[in-house]
Every structure is written in C-alpha cells, then in structure tokens.
Chains A and B, each alone.
Chain A
Amino acid sequence: MPGALAAIADPAVRAAYREWLLRIADDELVIGHRHSEWTGFGPDIESDVAMSSIAQEELGHGRAWYEQIAADDGGDADRLAFGRAPDEYRHAALLEQENGGWEYSMIRLMLYEAFEIGRLRLVAASGHEPVAGLAQTLSREERYHGLFADTWLTRLAGAAPGGPERIQAALDRAWPDALGLFESTAADEVLQRAGVLQSSPSAEREAWVATVRPVLERYGLAVPSGAGAREGGRRGVHTAAFEPLLAQLTEVWKSDPEARW
C-alpha cells in the first residue's frame, strides 16, 4: 500500500513531509527503547508490566510510521530503524536521555505525551491518508500513557517524603530538552506554506506550555523559567546519551544486516 508521501506531487513538500514523519518515528523508537529498559526493574510488579506495555506501544507506533515512510522509499521499517548513521536520526534530545530515577521517566512521559497528543492532532488534521487515520488511532493509546504518568506524579508529589523536590529536579533537567521537541527546521516552513500543517512549532509550543503548566502546578511544581530549549535533535545533532543507545540498539542487527534475524 502506498504511504501518504506518494500523493504529494511537489518533491520539496514530499521531502519535508518525509523528514517530519521521520521525527515522529524516531521519537517513538527512542522513547520505546528507553521505556523498555524498565522491563524487569519497575518500582513494583504492576508498574513494571504497565511500562512494558507502554514501551511496546511506542515501538509499535514507531514501526507504523517507519512503514509509512518505507512504503515510498521502497525500503523496510527495520532498515530505517536500525540501519542509519547517528546524524540521520531526527528525534529530540528528551527521548534519548537515560532513564535515571522513576520520577524522571514519569516527568518525561508526561511532558512527551502532552506534546505527542498535539502533534498527532496536527497529522490527523492534515487530511493526508492513511497517516491522518493512523494519527487518530494512535492518539487513543497515547492518552493512556499520559494518564499513567499523571497517576504516578500525583502520588510521588503528594505522598513521598522529599517527593516534590525530587520531581522538581527531574523537571528542571527535562525542561530544556522538552522545549527542544519544538525545534523548527526548514521542513516546518515548507509544510506550513504548502498547507499540510495548520500550525507552527512556536504556536504548538505555546499551546503545550498552556497545557502542561497547570498540571505541573497541580503537582506543586514550578515551571522552570529562563531555561532555553536544547535543540539539535531535529537536525541530527544528538547528545552524548545517543551514541551508546544506538550502539546497543543495533548491536545484533548490524552484526549482519543482510541476515534474517
């Protein structure tokens, strides 16, 4: 089945949309990888099981987006996920950071899911099938991920000795990386001008801050002020956390990329 890209006649727009879909796929792959590192090590058995489900769903979403791109490239999802050089990945820094404590993973989950819901809404509104329909389907799962993070953060902030301080520290660490989710490149302008996207990264960022601020304040947290966005991810410039992640992710697959594993 041809993906959404084939229907776009203008090669510049098509290339920009490919770039944009790659961001989604890479974000989901990288966060799915990090979440799956909790499998076996959650704070209790129930959360361990829940986090494994979230990981599988993110990896599954990543695969669905890679398949959309591969449908037009003539490649396959695994080759896109495992076969690229580090600077060809387009995820934001937030997703590649090490898990650290449970509080960091929950804050990151909350910030990312709020972003992802907004992004999927944009794709759903693009009118380009099949990706618009795909975005609607995936939103339903993402919503539960956000609820999971909210349940945990409410408890950690509300009942843990020293909880608010720990979560605030996690938030301070995650915030600049989270702002980096909205990094804008030439692709954003092209897509907006072509009418594929109905919003800009800066408008999306404003809407996101308006969504997460009251939630964070409900936990008793202060939204970090004056911290700039850590950008680069959308252009393939990653932090020190990515190289070891990628090396591990691709270790077996790259030992023989032509083999069937």
Chain B
Amino acid sequence: MPETTPAAPEDPEVLAEFTARVRAGEQIEAGEWVPEEYRFEALRLINMHANSEIMGALPEREWIPRAPGLARKMALTAKVQDEVGHGMLLYRVAETLGRSRDEMIAELVAGRARFHNVFHYPAETWADVAIIQVFVDGAAMQTQGALRSCSYAPYARVLKRICYEEDFHIQLGLDVWRALAEGTPAQRAMLQDALCRWWTPIMHFFGMLDRVSPHTEKMLAWRIKVKSNEELRQQFLRKFVPIILEYGLDVPDPNLRWAEDEQRYVYTEPDWEELKRVGRNGGPKSAERLALRQRFHAQHAWVREAMSRWRARADGAVA
C-alpha cells in the first residue's frame, strides 16, 4: 500500500478553493496542485485498480489454452490482453500521482498490495469464463462507469476507454453465457454451478455499506468517490438479475427479491469477514496467484536488467 507521507500544512484558503472548484464539476489535470490527502486517496484507488487488472488476467488466462474452439481461443486471448492493457494505462495514470510503475509492480508481486476481491477466487470450469465476463466485468462496469465523472481528469479519460472495452467484454461473455445456457443439460449445470460459486464474491465486490463519516463525505465532495457502495450494488442487481431469470437459471440467493415499496433489491447479507480476509490476500487463490507472479517476475529479472541497461545506453548516446 502507498506509504503515508506526513501531510504538509496546507493553506486553508487554497484548500477551500480547490474543494470549491471540484465541487463545481471542474477536473484536475496531472501536475496541478492537489491536497496531499487527495493525492493519497486518488493514488490508492488507481493503484489498486491497476493491480486488479494485472491480477485479474490470471483466472481467465487459465482457460485460454483450453478454450473450446478457435474463435473462443482468439477472443479470450484478446479479452485478457485488454485487461493487461488496462493495467498499463492505469499504472501510467498512477505515475502522474507520484509512484513509479516498477515500485507498484514490485509491491504487488511481493504480496504487499491490494487487488479486487474477485481475483482471489478460482476459475474452475469453462463456465467461469462466462460468469467473469458478464458478472464480474459487469460489476466492475458499475464502479468504473460512475468514476468516469471523477475529478481526476487523467483517470476519467482512461476510464472512458476501459469502460468501452469492458462493455464489449460483457457482450462477449453473454455470447459464451448463451451458448451454455441454451446448450446441453451438462452445459447448463456447469453454468449454474459457476454462478453459485461466484455470487458471494460478486456481492462483496461493491464493499460494505458506507459508513457515514467525514472521510466519506470528503471523498464524495472531491469526487474520488462518485456513488455509494450500496447504490452501485443496486444498480448492478437491477441490470444483471434479469439476465439470470431470462435464461431460467436460479439466482443463488433464495432471499433475493425486488421490494417495490423501497425500489430496491433485498438480499441476504454476505459474510463480510470473508471479504476482509480476502482483502488481506487471504483468499482461496491469493497465495497461488501471487506465487505465479513471483515466479515469472524472478524468471524475467535478467530481461528487465537488459532493458534498463539498453535504455541507459541509449540515453547516454543521446546525451
């Protein structure tokens, strides 16, 4: 996690002016002055998003070698490639807030950084690919879609492109979903099983109900947070529960129902202790996936060394 730098005393007038600008809908460009707390929170958010794209490549990539059919294999390779590419864009944005990519990646590989809870879970069957592309990417789309109107302009711009691609991933996932949902009984059973396994992590994805706190207030005022966790979860359920029902599959929560009077979905409270554990890299696949990252990071050490020497030499030749 990013280290806390002692906050420099900030001129209350400058701070108030900043908050007023942001509140009025203005966006902040890279290199502009920001309050230290803003920089810290924005960096934490974007760094975690970048980490999640890189770690998020792992569950799905397991199915590239086994994808059934040439078109599926190419499409899944392209899809995972998109996620890795998002990681690149996001690390570049994070760099504008003061950390180097090397540092962030080293921290991620060492298991000292966070990434989204959903990427700590196994992808056990081909049907998991459909669930990840439709529901996990669909969940991410709610959060990221909202953040397109965040106050940090470089992040907002990158999110436009990311959401455009994520929307495409959902369409791709729906195609896999349809093939399985309308397929043989074994294919349908495989899909239902995957949906059941992923339900809790997806409900966790949006986080607990926000506490009403001055901190949350400030994040909302600064537009580093745009919608509350519960708003996003409800938005997700409104879009995605109908897909499950349309194909005659079971929603894995027997208590889930639309409450007309409250205009919201009522659901079983998931086990938040599990989310906390997973968040500390204690999920079912956390250790294994980090070990994989470490293995390749170590294997490529000499390659990185060659690149940095080559660059140094090229820089020297220019200078």
**A-to-B contact residues, CB < 8 Å:** 29, 32-33, 36-37, 39-46, 48-49, 52-53, 55-56, 59-60, 62-63, 66, 77-78, 81-82, 101-103, 155-156, 158-163, 166, 248-249, 251-253, 256, 259-261
Contacts and interface: CB of A to CB of B under 8 A. Distances in A.
A44 B299 CA distance: 12
A260 B181 CA distance: 11
B302 interface: yes
A101 B305 CA distance: 15
A39 B302 contact: no
A156 B302 CA distance: 9
B172 to A, nearest CB: 13
Contacts of A59: 70, 73-74, 77
Interface of B: 54, 57-58, 61, 63-74, 77-78, 80-81, 84-85, 87-88, 91, 126, 176, 179-180, 183-184, 186-187, 292, 296, 299-300, 302-307, 309-310, 313
A56 B58 CA distance: 18
Contacts, number: 130
B302 A82 contact: no
A163 B307 CA distance: 11
15 contacts: A36-B64, A43-B303, A45-B85, A52-B84, A59-B74, A78-B69, A155-B310, A158-B306, A160-B303, A249-B65, A253-B68, A256-B186, A256-B187, A259-B183, A261-B126
Contacts of A55: 77
Given A155-B307, A161-B302, A40 B80 contact: yes
B306 A46 contact: no
A55 B74 CA distance: 8
B70 A41 contact: no
A170 to B, nearest CB: 13
A66 B80 CA distance: 25
Given A77-B70, A82-B68, 6 more contacts: A55-B77, A56-B74, A102-B300, A161-B306, A249-B65, A252-B68
A161 B305 contact: yes
Contacts of B71: 63, 78
Nearest to A46: B88
A64 B307 CA distance: 36
Contacts of B186: 256
B70, B80, B126, B313: which has the most chain A beta carbons within 10 Å?
B70
Nearest to A79: B69
B306 A53 contact: no
Nearest to B85: A49
Nearest to B300: A43
A158 B96 CA distance: 32
A81 B305 CA distance: 39
Given A40-B80, A166-B302, A45 B91 contact: yes
A248 B65 contact: yes
Contacts of B299: 101-102
A260 B303 CA distance: 42
A60 B74 contact: yes
A52 B78 contact: yes
A166 B187 CA distance: 46
Contacts of B300: 43-44, 102
B64 A39 contact: yes
Contacts of B57: 39-40
Contacts of B187: 256, 259
4 A-B pairs closest in CB distance: A160-B306, A52-B81, A261-B68, A253-B68
Given A40-B57, A56-B78, A256 B184 contact: yes
A163 B302 contact: yes
Contact of A49 (B74, B84, B180): B84
Nearest to B67: A252
Contacts of A249: 65-66
Contacts of B72: 261
A102 B65 contact: no
B299, B305, B307: which has the most chain A beta carbons within 10 Å?
B307
A62 B71 CA distance: 11
B69 A251 contact: no
A239 to B, nearest CB: 18
B306 A163 contact: yes
B70 A62 contact: yes
A52 B80 contact: yes
Nearest to B84: A48
A181 to B, nearest CB: 22
Contacts of B77: 36, 39, 52, 55-56, 59
Contacts of B184: 256, 259
A56 B79 CA distance: 11
Contacts of B58: 40
Nearest to B88: A45
Nearest to B313: A159
Contacts of B296: 41
A96 to B, nearest CB: 13
B81 A49 contact: yes
A175 to B, nearest CB: 22
Contacts of B69: 78, 82, 253, 261
